[in-house]
Chain A
């Protein structure tokens, strides 16, 4: 078996074990949150008999191990249970809200890469000069300012004052979304050839994605800079300079790639973490994402929905982690070859 495939398989097995652990932990934590979910869901006017009936229906009157077993058994059939908050199957909720979050995160990740990496390269290349100072100051500001503050500021400036982008939402009120094929609005609009919807959806994406990406852009720029500065101090760069290579070529071709390895690792995890951290941005921009949903279900002690949301976010994090490892191995031949030698 090729070493890379072996690594992939072992990581997959480990991921499943991690997910199992998360499910046990969350199952217990969700039940420690005070409050009777059945009473919260039915309201104060519900009769005790109605509350008891709901408790029984949801196995809430059974011992914890039985409750967990029932949950896992239903999960095995692809049934995430029913949300007491939305009164719908959790799976339906997740299918509805996850694509919106993923779309937002994909654009935010793109912005982190497209703005953060060049800024870091620029900063390292002109170390100590004006562009470096400017990039470092901007990066610090981007990291230090919370995402929801960026959200409100971007909203005020670009949506309210300049009217360049919509204030909130995923699509304008005058447009009808295309038939859901993938659940991703941008992809569905493209598949349907509905360019008006596509354009409007992209316009709606810009500000929330930028607000979400700001800290990541700053972080990426700083890491790229630090990593490249370190690479610039290595003998092979000095040798390249001695050969008379142009600085631009040295930066882009010789310094950037080795500097990318630590950046990619952190960037990948940052992007994965966005799924859980997007709550405030989704709230500010009225974005119908899974992060906002997750917080609402916790506040309503919606046990099945809490479990479903956490499992999906954890799975997303593990997949992203795995993808980063593979990407790093691809970028850094030493890691790949070391695996093959082993």
Chain B
């Protein structure tokens, strides 16, 4: 070999090594969210808890795409016989521990969720009489009565590795089950998901690593690692993004910070929507809003266009969409034939004329905004500007969340108007509307309008008992129409959760309408991220 050949060989070898190093360079996806991150999938109820659960664990069904409410996942098929649901499971699903998923794990997971009584267990509470596993690939749920939202609720039943959980159980109140592995699962996982936990500190961060044995496979372009940081300040996130040390923000940044990031050339915006509405609850049990005409007067006096301008990020992106009722566009039960709400002072005055409370003193209303969400104060001021000239006497009061949650437990102490963002827990509208408007539910911040309406109650019950999809769709459309008539809330706008991301990655499930899922939070699937390094 001559000297020139040696040099050429050296150059080629170097290039090959460099290429090899590039090809195997680990990719890491970094984002932030609100604290705390809840690692136990049977406990988390907020956005980040759901994101962790959806990425680390799998369920029998997942939210659907292209208009379907749900789609098969661990369960490949199911049969409904009256109140009995029989699911056939995939044979090739492996837990992070290496154990194969069986029907016993599904039964264990359901029992664990109900025994803990936290997280999304309320979706099943009192609904399931028995869960059995006739064989390793079959699970049978016998419901205690007809419950049509059951399939939608199943997307919130994460399946855990029973052997791993029980191997790590600590002492607990149950002699046999101990603590159901709660201590272990507060920092580790027992899932089948595309990512597994490397380390987890609820107040600080979660580090995840790609699971090579994922039953659906994970694309090479998906990040090898994911780092979720919790509770970062907006100013800190802005600096991290600008210096390329973070790939994606949470959706909780104030609009002004989001606007600054959106203006950068190396940043694109992503969004998640379909489940949430910004509700301005009206207390239907206290004068003057116990009169539906007064409520409708406010409904038409509210300046929806200005409310949306307040959450503008760019000329085309807002953290809200116009709403036509309590169900978001694209969600099951949404009625596209209904017009979006818009300010109409003529209608407002007409309804006010019919209201039995005639003087401004009789029409005194208090508007409550949550002090932990400063942007709500602006909406309260907008309401004051809209309603006072109409003939209402408004007072604005900020109150901490804990105080609000206490006040709304009683109609007498519930503010006349209060602002709350509420999301559906599942792709089924029942998970949103029943807890808000059924007269049977406990008084909470979701049901702060304290509505008592026989027609609404009847439609909500029909929605639960009707199993035919088309008929259910019709029921929810009727329900929305009725809710528009009785106006328990001003449906200010549909929630649009906007994230800023560096151009170093793409995530179609949060940017392409054809790739979106039927439930918020599920779209943030780390396995579907396409990192630019590949």
Interface residues of A (CB under 8 A from B): 33-36, 39-51, 53-54, 85-89, 92-93, 96-97, 152, 155-156, 159-160, 163, 167-170, 173-174, 176-177, 283-286, 288, 292-293, 296, 299-301
Interface contact A299-B36, CB-CB below 8 Å = no
Interface contact A167-B243, CB-CB below 8 Å = yes
Interface contact B186-A46, CB-CB below 8 Å = no
Q: Which residues of A contact B14 (CB under 8 A)?
A: none
Question: Which of B125, B409, B447 touches A47 (beta carbons < 8 Å)?
Answer: B125
Within 8 A of A (CB), among B16-46: 28, 30, 35-36, 38, 40, 43, 45
Interface contact A155-B35, CB-CB below 8 Å = no
Question: Which of B28, B239, B444 touches A173 (beta carbons < 8 Å)?
Answer: B28
Interface contact A97-B442, CB-CB below 8 Å = no
Interface contact A44-B406, CB-CB below 8 Å = no
Q: Which residues of B contact A286 (CB under 8 A)?
A: 204, 229, 231-233, 236
Interface contact B401-A299, CB-CB below 8 Å = yes
Does B379 lie at the interface of the complex (its beta carbon under 8 Å from any beta carbon of A)? no
Q: Which residues of B contact A163 (CB under 8 A)?
A: 243
Q: Known contacts A33-B402, A35-B406, A51-B442: does B425 contact A160 (CB below 8 Å)? A: no
User: What 6 A-B pairs come out closest when comparing CB atoms?
Assistant: A35-B402, A288-B204, A44-B444, A44-B446, A34-B406, A34-B403
Q: Which residues of A contact B186 (CB under 8 A)?
A: 86-88, 92
Q: Which of B28, B199, B201 counts the most A-chain CB atoms under 10 A from its CB?
A: B201
In the assembled complex, the CB of B183 is this many whole angstroms from the nearest CB of chain A, namely 7
Q: Which of B36, B120, B403 counts the most A-chain CB atoms under 10 A from its CB?
A: B36
Interface contact A296-B402, CB-CB below 8 Å = no
Question: Which of A34, A86, A301 touches B36 (beta carbons < 8 Å)?
Answer: A86
Question: Which of B36, B229, B442 touches A85 (beta carbons < 8 Å)?
Answer: B36
Q: When chains A and B are docked, how far (Å) is the Cα of A210 from the Cα of B11? A: 48
Question: Which of A41, A167, A293 touches B239 (beta carbons < 8 Å)?
Answer: A167
Question: Which of B182, B183, B242, B445 touches A160 (beta carbons < 8 Å)?
Answer: B242
Q: Known contacts A36-B406, A45-B123, A286-B231: does B445 contact A156 (CB below 8 Å)? A: no
Count contacts on B: residues with CB < 8 A to the other chain.
56
Interface contact B38-A87, CB-CB below 8 Å = yes
Q: When chains A and B are docked, how far (Å) is the Cα of A292 from the Cα of B45? A: 21
Q: Which residues of B contact A44 (CB under 8 A)?
A: 422, 435, 444-447
Q: Mark B429-464, 1 if CB is under 8 A from A, else 0.
A: 001000100000010111100000000000000000
Residue of A nearest to B30 (CB): A173
Interface contact A296-B401, CB-CB below 8 Å = no
Interface contact A284-B233, CB-CB below 8 Å = yes
Residue of A nearest to B40 (CB): A87
Interface contact B435-A283, CB-CB below 8 Å = no
Interface contact A45-B406, CB-CB below 8 Å = no
Residue of B nearest to A171 (CB): B205
Q: When chains A and B are docked, how far (Å) is the Cα of A316 from the Cα of B87? A: 56
Q: List 10 A-B contacts (CB under 8 A).
A: A36-B406, A46-B121, A86-B202, A96-B201, A155-B236, A160-B243, A168-B232, A173-B28, A286-B232, A292-B203
Q: When chains A and B are docked, how far (Å) is the Cα of A97 from the Cα of B243? A: 28
Within 8 A of A (CB), among B71-125: 117-118, 120-123, 125
Q: Which residues of B contact A43 (CB under 8 A)?
A: 45, 122
Residue of B nearest to A48 (CB): B442
Does B146 lie at the interface of the complex (its beta carbon under 8 Å from any beta carbon of A)? no
Q: When chains A and B are docked, how far (Å) is the Cα of A288 from the Cα of B123? A: 33
Interface contact A173-B227, CB-CB below 8 Å = yes
Question: Which of B118, B199, B205 touches A42 (beta carbons < 8 Å)?
Answer: B118
Does B235 lie at the interface of the complex (its beta carbon under 8 Å from any beta carbon of A)? yes
Residue of A nearest to B46 (CB): A43
Within 8 A of A (CB), among B401-419: 401-403, 405-407, 409
Q: When chains A and B are docked, how far (Å) is the Cα of A45 from the Cα of B229? A: 27
Q: Which residues of B contact A170 (CB under 8 A)?
A: 204
Residue of B nearest to A285 (CB): B236
- Extra A-B contacts (9), CB below 8 Å, given A45-B431, A159-B239: A34-B403, A44-B435, A45-B122, A50-B117, A51-B442, A87-B40, A88-B186, A173-B28, A288-B203
Q: Which residues of A contact B122 (CB under 8 A)?
A: 42-43, 45-47, 50
In the assembled complex, the CB of B152 is this many whole angstroms from the nearest CB of chain A, namely 13
Q: When chains A and B are docked, how far (Å) is the Cα of A156 from the Cα of B233? A: 13
Q: Known contacts A45-B425, A87-B118, A160-B239: does B201 contact A288 (CB below 8 Å)? A: yes
Q: When chains A and B are docked, how far (Å) is the Cα of A285 from the Cα of B125? A: 41
Residue of A nearest to B173 (CB): A57
Q: When chains A and B are docked, how far (Å) is the Cα of A44 from the Cα of B202? A: 22
Q: Which residues of B contact A301 (CB under 8 A)?
A: 402
Q: When chains A and B are docked, how far (Å) is the Cα of A97 from the Cα of B126? A: 39
Residue of B nearest to A100 (CB): B204
In the assembled complex, the CB of B190 is this many whole angstroms from the nearest CB of chain A, namely 16
Q: Which residues of B contact A35 (CB under 8 A)?
A: 401-403, 405-406
Q: Known contacts A45-B123, A87-B40, A301-B402: does B28 contact A156 (CB below 8 Å)? A: no
Q: Which residues of B contact A159 (CB under 8 A)?
A: 239
In the assembled complex, the CB of A139 is this many whole angstroms from the nearest CB of chain B, namely 26
Residue of B nearest to A301 (CB): B402
